[in-house]
Chain A
Amino acid sequence: MSSYIPQSWEERRQMLDTIGVSDVNELFSSIPAGMMLDKLDLEPGKSELEVRRIMSSMAGKNHVFSSIFRGAGSYNHYIPSIVGIVTGKEEFRTAYTPYQAEISQGILQSIFEYQTMIARLTGMDVSNASVYDGATAAAEAVAMCVDRKHRRALVSATSNPMVVDVIKTYCYGRGIEVVMVPEKDGVTDTEALKALLDDASACIYTMQPNYYGQIEDVSAVCQTAHAAGAKYIMGVYPIAAAILATPGEIGADVAVGEGQPLGLPMAFGGPYLGFMATTAANMRKLPGRIVGETTDAAGNRAFVLTLQAREQHIRREKASSNICSNEALCAFTSAVYMAAMGDKNMRQVAELCYDKAHFLAEKLEEIGYARRYGGPFFNEFVTENPLCPEKVCEALEEHDILGGIPVEGGILWCATEMNSKEQIDTLIDVLKEVPDGTVV
């Protein structure tokens, strides 16, 4: 019998006898005959040895760069060895959603711990159990802020374009208007923001640092929003959150972000992790699963999925979101990462990212790649280039270096704790040697 069916044909025959049929196809007799397939037009099944060979061969057709200077929503960070060991435990991997609390305390407790860590990282009161990624987290945060009277969502043009795209798609679904707030000198134009805010504005979303790596004056954005009666959604880079002022300290209403940097591999884009945290006042507006602490009849501490009446399986069409799954294993992974790292290492990683990026910026400046924007930045920045960005990237790729990403005629560079001084020096040397190409 085909793989993974633990039955012999003899056992199958016995079971069919018990059911009272002689052929398995009798059990499919309610399907109109004309629709039944004779066969699928697919290759035959293979042995495990062959399948592993095929998958390895496909993996071999990809190139893993040894030196990565690209961020823009997916980051090359160090993953401690312990993370893979713990997250490989098959119990966690093969379990279903912990609806049966009595037999799922392990998962529920680990998610409760995750929620606590995210709340502390962002300085907010509460967190949910995660959503699909940072972009959908932003879109769901917009949905939290919108109501019958407030149906305009303001989004800064300094946000990651992919996040903007997802917010727009979700808002198209719900008939919510998205208004872009222009960028000025590499940050959100707060004067323009003031002018755009009106009675119908539900919220403003900006990222910290923003897509260009700049550290924005988010206090000003937050105050401007609140003065106009709108909510402030702050998108957060979780590594930077170890150093930068938190959404809680700023006074944001909702904090969201992409959790991939917290122990998840880059993995060609997924699975990733969207975290969402908010104030106690907005707690019941959070979409998705949430774990709460309670007790059982004997007074033992017990964890349970709570506030379920918000969710789709109960509220159905009145739910504010249809989200069913959280990225449980990804949230679990990020919790293990944060627990392994602790405050000390999280801070060190953030400082190293900052140091490497500032060193890189200096070195690039020396060879004619000047920063496009002034003002403070974290670990990403945009440079003007003496040469066409695509040519620059091609030249770097030949040396097994993935350079910054071309962005609006410039290049958006990123440095993390994974970039050694050697790598940076090599990058600079290669750039010095790039032959003069077409200047944009």
Chain B
Amino acid sequence: MKETLKDRKYTKTHEWVLFNEDGTADMGLTDFAQEHLSDLVFFGLPNVGDAVKKGCAIGDVESVKAVEEYNSPVDGDIAAVNETLLDNPGSVNADPYGVWVVRIGNITAEGELMDADAYDAFCTEALKDEE
């Protein structure tokens, strides 16, 4: 398991969000998420300008045998999408915290977010449930 970075926040649906100095926020998938999905093959990305709501799905990601939606951590709209993911979805498997998926601007509200320690505890509980 890769180390959960302390510079960002986490959601219950295993996204991370990093608030930038310019008021935007970057969102990506956590190590827990990429482990569970296994090799990612395709990202369904939203359009720039789409409005997003906290806790609601904004796109999906496919592995060979599964598809999962990823949710927005905040209210706002899509400022940018990481187009390199179209050619290289596996980069999220290799470096989940170094690769952003979408950048959200005009943020008006935050969803339920946890800090790194709370998220680690949440993941430990989740793994226990799976056994």
Minimum CB–CB distance from A149 to chain B (whole Å) comes to 10
The answer to whether A308 and B42 have CB atoms under 8 Å apart is no
Chain B residues with Cβ below 8 Å from A284 are: 42
Q: Does A309 contact B (CB under 8 A)?
A: yes
Interface SS majority for chain A: helix
Residue of A nearest to B57 (CB): A318
A281-303 toward B: CB 8 Å interface, digit per residue (1/0)?
Answer: 00010000000000000000000
How big is chain B's contact interface, by range? under 10
Residue of A nearest to B68 (CB): A309
The answer to whether B42 and A315 have CB atoms under 8 Å apart is no
Q: Does B67 contact A (CB under 8 A)?
A: yes
Q: Does A1 contact B (CB under 8 A)?
A: no
Q: Does B2 contact A (CB under 8 A)?
A: no
Q: How far is the CA of A55 from the CA of B82 in the complex (A)?
A: 62
Residue of A nearest to B60 (CB): A318
B89-112 toward A: CB 8 Å interface, digit per residue (1/0)?
Answer: 000000000000000000000000
Chain A residues with Cβ below 8 Å from B81 are: none
Q: Does A314 contact B (CB under 8 A)?
A: yes
Q: How far is the CA of A374 from the CA of B64 in the complex (A)?
A: 53
Residue of A nearest to B69 (CB): A318
Q: How far is the CA of A284 from the CA of B89 in the complex (A)?
A: 15
Q: Does B24 contact A (CB under 8 A)?
A: no
Q: Does B126 contact A (CB under 8 A)?
A: no
Chain A residues with Cβ below 8 Å from B60 are: 318
Minimum CB–CB distance from A312 to chain B (whole Å) comes to 11
Minimum CB–CB distance from A417 to chain B (whole Å) comes to 44
Q: Does B41 contact A (CB under 8 A)?
A: yes
Interface SS majority for chain B: strand
The answer to whether B42 and A314 have CB atoms under 8 Å apart is no
A332-361 toward B: CB 8 Å interface, digit per residue (1/0)?
Answer: 000000000000000000000000000000
Q: How far is the CA of A284 from the CA of B65 in the complex (A)?
A: 15
Chain B residues with Cβ below 8 Å from A309 are: 41-42, 62-67
Chain A residues with Cβ below 8 Å from B64 are: 308-309
Chain B residues with Cβ below 8 Å from A315 are: 67
Chain A residues with Cβ below 8 Å from B67 are: 309, 314-315, 318
Minimum CB–CB distance from B48 to chain A (whole Å) comes to 15
Could you tell me which residues of chain B, from 59 to 93, have a CB within 8 Å of some CB in chain A?
60, 62-67
Could you tell me which residues of chain B, from 26 to 76, have a CB within 8 Å of some CB in chain A?
41-42, 60, 62-67
Residue of A nearest to B62 (CB): A309
Q: How far is the CA of A284 from the CA of B60 in the complex (A)?
A: 13
Q: How far is the CA of A314 from the CA of B66 in the complex (A)?
A: 6
Minimum CB–CB distance from B45 to chain A (whole Å) comes to 12
Minimum CB–CB distance from B29 to chain A (whole Å) comes to 16
A310-330 toward B: CB 8 Å interface, digit per residue (1/0)?
Answer: 000011001000000000000
Counting chain A CB atoms within 10 Å of each CB, the highest count among B60, B63, B66, B67 belongs to B67
Minimum CB–CB distance from A66 to chain B (whole Å) comes to 53
Chain B residues with Cβ below 8 Å from A314 are: 65-67
Q: How far is the CA of A392 from the CA of B19 in the complex (A)?
A: 79
Minimum CB–CB distance from B52 to chain A (whole Å) comes to 14
Minimum CB–CB distance from A304 to chain B (whole Å) comes to 9
Minimum CB–CB distance from A294 to chain B (whole Å) comes to 11
Residue of A nearest to B44 (CB): A284
Chain B residues with Cβ below 8 Å from A308 are: 64-65
Chain A residues with Cβ below 8 Å from B41 are: 309
Q: How far is the CA of A308 from the CA of B63 in the complex (A)?
A: 9
Residue of B nearest to A284 (CB): B42
Minimum CB–CB distance from B79 to chain A (whole Å) comes to 20
A168-204 toward B: CB 8 Å interface, digit per residue (1/0)?
Answer: 0000000000000000000000000000000000000
Q: How far is the CA of A284 from the CA of B41 in the complex (A)?
A: 12
Q: How far is the CA of A337 from the CA of B41 in the complex (A)?
A: 35
Chain A residues with Cβ below 8 Å from B62 are: 309
Q: How far is the CA of A318 from the CA of B42 in the complex (A)?
A: 16
| Top 4 A-B residue pairs of the complex, sorted by shortest distance between their CB atoms | A309-B62, A309-B67, A315-B67, A314-B67
Residues of B within 8 A of A (CB): 41-42, 60, 62-67
17 A-B residue contacts at CB 8 Å? Answer: A284-B42, A308-B64, A308-B65, A309-B41, A309-B42, A309-B62, A309-B63, A309-B64, A309-B65, A309-B66, A309-B67, A314-B65, A314-B66, A314-B67, A315-B67, A318-B60, A318-B67
Given contacts A309-B66, A314-B65, 5 further A-B contacts (CB under 8 A): A309-B41, A309-B42, A309-B64, A314-B67, A318-B60
